[in-house]
C-alpha cells in the first residue's frame, strides 16, 4: 500500500511552529499504517526527542533560535528520524515519503537524517544551523 499524508492536519501543525505568536517549537509527523499524520507538537525539544525511539520513523519540523550578540533569529530544520530497529524496506520508503512531507514542510534552513540519539542533541543542531546561517558577529571572540 502506498503512503499518503494528511496534508491539512500536517500543514496546521507546521504553521503553528512557524507562527511567532505560539509556543510551539516543534511538530512531529509519524506513520499510522500507511498514512503520515501529526504526532504532536510542543515547546520542549526533549519532548520531541522522546518520540525518537529505536522502533519509530518520525519527521520533525523544529524551530531553533540562533544568532549572535547582534541578531537573534528563528531557524527551522527538518529532521528525519529512522530508529535502529526499522526494517530495510521501511528505511527505503523514507526517501519517497519525505517528498510528501516536503510538500507541506517547505521552509527550513537545514535538513538532517538521524538514527543515533546523540545526533539529536539540540546544541549539535544549533551549531549546524549557525554554520548555515551566514554572518556571525561573534566570530572575533570564538
Domain boundaries, the chain: 4-133
For residue 126, what are the contacts with CB-CB under 8 A and spacing of at least 6?
64, 66
Mean pLDDT computed over every residue of the chain: 90
* DSSP character at residue 20: T
What is the largest distance, in Å, between two alpha-carbon atoms of the chain? 55
Nearest residue to 5 via CA among 27, 37, 30, 33:
37
pLDDT at 27: 98
For 10-67, what is each residue's pLDDT tens digit? 999 999 999 999 999 999 999 999 999 999 999 999 999 999 999 999 999 999 987 6
pTM of the model: 0.89
4-133 CATH? 3.40.20.10
Q: Which residues contact 69 (CB under 8 A, 6 or more apart)?
A: 137, 138
For position 136, what pLDDT does the model report?
55
Nearest 5°: phi and psi at 26? -155, 155
What separation in angstroms does the CA of 15 have from each of 10, 20, 89, 114? 9, 10, 31, 24
Question: Which whole number is the average pLDDT over 98-118?
Answer: 95
Amino acid at each position: 500500500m502506498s503512503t499518503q499524508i494528511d496534508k491539512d492536519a500536517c500543514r496546521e501543525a507546521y504553521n503553528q511552529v512557524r507562527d511567532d505568536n505560539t509556543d510551539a517549537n516543534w511538530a512531529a509527523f509519524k506513520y499510522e499504517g500507511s498514512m503520515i499524520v501529526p504526532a504532536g507538537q510542543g515547546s520542549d525539544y526533549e519532548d520531541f526527542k522522546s518520540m525518537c525511539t529505536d522502533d519509530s520513523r518520525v519527521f520533525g519540523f523544529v524551530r531553533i533560535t540562533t544568532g549572535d550578540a547582534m541578531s537573534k533569529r528563528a531557524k527551522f530544520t527538518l529532521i528525519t528520524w529512522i530508529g535502529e530497529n526499522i526494517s530495510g524496506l521501511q528505511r527505503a520508503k523514507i526517501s519517497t515519503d519525505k517528498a510528501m512531507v516536503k510538500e507541506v514542510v517547505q521552509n527550513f534552513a537545514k535538513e538532517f537524517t538521524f538514527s543515533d540519539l546523540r545526533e539529536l542533541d539540540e546544541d549539535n543542531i544549533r551549531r549546524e544551523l549557525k554554520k548555515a546561517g551566514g554572518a556571525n558577529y561573534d566570530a572575533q571572540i570564538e
